[in-house]
């Protein structure tokens, strides 16, 4: 299926390029996940590589996955994200995750896979067909330099546009920790749907489990999202 926008993606691409140039950020897209693993290990030590994108655990190729990184003018890593196609084999996401949710743990030590659990949400029953998983979203923590300046909408939509151009998915989805979701992260990067308590992770040494939201967009959501002028979704301070 050919992607159709009520306008087209050119205005988004042009505006996002202007914003990235103004911030001195260069984006690179790749498909070699051994290279990405090395980048993360060397330059993002505060957040380890997520299991869904570990090439020692999954077959990640140019046909089914990509990563995107951003660097500042001096070459410092300031952003990461990644995506991959998920084979549902004719099942809804709810059936897939019932068996496979342990493949999407948070990037933390001490996760107790046996005591953690998945709860099917309304969205997981609807999501089927061609599906892409979106994760690894990280922005350097220097507030006022890279955070809080309107980059999240640009970076999130850039990744979503790349997924559309590569795979034309029926749906994209990701998991967001409660502590992050409550700060409006999903809305900033462009997710139109958010459902609570989908994955609950028990972590050694923590008194309470870590809860997560399911974030997702349909193809129609993505077409709508990418047709909105970026200036309409950027914070006034950006």
What global pTM score does this model have? Answer: 0.92
Q: How does residue 77 score in pLDDT terms, banded at 50, 70 and 90?
A: very high
* Beta-sheet pairing, 199-203 with 131-139: unpaired
pLDDT of residue 16: 83
Tell me what the mean pLDDT of segment 201-219 comes to: 96
Q: What residues form DSSP beta bridges with 83?
A: 66, 134
Alpha-carbon distance of 82 to 62, in angstroms, equals 12
Cβ–Cβ < 8 Å for 96, 86: yes
Helix (H, G, I), strand (E, B), or coil: what is residue 216? strand
Mean pLDDT of all residues in 131-136: 98
DSSP conformation class of 134 = E
The residues, ordered by sequence, that sit 6+ positions from 1 with a Cβ below 8 Å of its Cβ are: 168
The SS3 call for residue 197 is: coil
Report, as an integer, the average pLDDT of 55-65.
Answer: 97
What does the alpha-carbon distance between residue 186 and residue 175 come to, in Å, rounded to a whole number?
Answer: 10
Q: 10-231 falls under which CATH superfamily?
A: Gcn5-related N-acetyltransferase (GNAT) (3.40.630.30)
Q: Which helix (H) or strand (E) segment is 112 a member of?
A: strand 111-118
Mean pLDDT value across residues 126-147:
87
CA distance 224 to 210: 32
> What is the rounded average pLDDT of the residues 165-189?
95
What confidence score (pLDDT) does residue 237 get? Answer: 43
> Among residues of the chain, what percentage have pLDDT more than 90?
76
Percentage of residues of the chain with pLDDT beyond 70 = 90
231 burial via Cβ count (<10 Å: 0-12, 13-18, 19+): exposed
Mean pLDDT, rounded, for 54-71? 97
Query: At 129, which helix (H) or strand (E)?
Result: none
pLDDT digits over 48-59, tens only? 999 999 999 999
Radius of gyration of the CA atoms of the chain, in A: 17
Mean pLDDT for the chain?
90
Per-residue model confidence (pLDDT) at position 3: 42
Residue 177 near residue 208, CB atoms below 8 Å = no
> Which of 1-5, 25-29, 211-215 comes out lowest in average pLDDT?
1-5
CA 16 to chain CA centroid, Å, is 18
Q: Do 79 and 70 meet the contact criterion of CB atoms below 8 Å apart?
A: yes
Nearest 5°: the CA angle 84, 67, 63 is 45
Rounded Cα distance, 219 and 76, in Å = 34
């Amino acid at each position: 299926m050919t992607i159709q926008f009520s306008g087209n993606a050119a205005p988004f691409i042009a505006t996002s390029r202007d914003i990235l140039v103004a911030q001195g950020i260069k984006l690179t897209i790749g498909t070699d996940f051994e290279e990405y693993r090395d980048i993360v290990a060397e330059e993002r030590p505060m957040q380890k590589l997520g299991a869904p994108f570990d090439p020692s655990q999954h077959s990640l190729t140019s046909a089914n996955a990509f990563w995107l990184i951003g660097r500042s003018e001096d070459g410092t890593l300031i952003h990461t994200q990644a995506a991959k196609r998920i084979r549902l084999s004719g099942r809804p996401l709810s059936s897939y995750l019932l068996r496979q949710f342990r493949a999407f743990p948070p990037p933390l030590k001490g996760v107790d896979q046996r005591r953690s659990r998945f709860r099917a949400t309304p969205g997981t029953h609807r999501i089927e067909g061609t599906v892409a998983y979106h994760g690894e979203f990280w922005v350097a923590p220097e507030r006022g330099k890279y955070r809080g300046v309107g980059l999240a909408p640009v970076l999130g939509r850039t990744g979503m546009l790349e997924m559309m151009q590569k795979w034309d998915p029926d749906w994209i989805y990701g998991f967001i920790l409660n502590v992050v979701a409550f700060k409006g992260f999903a809305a900033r990067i462009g997710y139109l749907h958010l459902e609570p308590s989908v994955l609950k992770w028990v972590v050694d040494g923590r008194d309470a489990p870590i809860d997560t939201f399911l974030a997702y967009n349909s193809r129609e959501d993505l077409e709508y999202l990418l047709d909105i002028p970026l200036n309409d979704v950027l914070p006034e301070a950006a």
